[in-house]
Amino acid sequence: DTAVSQTPKYLVTQMGNDKSIKCEQNLGHDTMYWYKQDSKKFLKIMFSYNNKELIINETVPNRFSPKSPDKAHLNLHINSLELGDSAVYFCASSQNRGGNIQYFGAGTRLSVL
């Protein structure tokens, strides 16, 4: 079983559409994260939830809205997609919020046309 799984793996869509990416972890971790990796491979934190509570909310357009229905799941909904949203989005999890090792999912490659 994959420890941190994301769906879909690829997402191709038109500008202006709304899309969601889902993430699930089966490691029993309390903390989950969303990262964005741009075309220059720079990996940047977007959001983090600890046991369903939002604890990191970086400077991200409010078109991006994370949701954590339980501590094993963290979803990312993106409204009104723009060309600049094209990137690879990684979900990660860690045992808790205290600087522990983070384990990454396989990533979702989003292409906005």
Check binding of 34 to another protein (CB under 8 A): no
| CB distance 3 to 103 below 8 Å | yes
- Closest distance between another protein and the C-beta of residue 47, in Å? 10
| CB distance 4 to 105 below 8 Å | yes
Check binding of 31 to another protein (CB under 8 A): yes
Of the ranges 14-22, 67-75, 78-86, 97-105, which one interacts with another protein (CB under 8 A)?
97-105
Check binding of 55 to another protein (CB under 8 A): yes
Check binding of 67 to another protein (CB under 8 A): no
Beta strands in the chain (DSSP E): 4-7, 10-13, 19-25, 31-37, 43-50, 53-57, 64-70, 73-78, 87-94, 103-104, 108-112
Footprint of another protein (CB under 8 A): 31, 33, 40-45, 48, 50, 55-56, 90, 94, 96-107
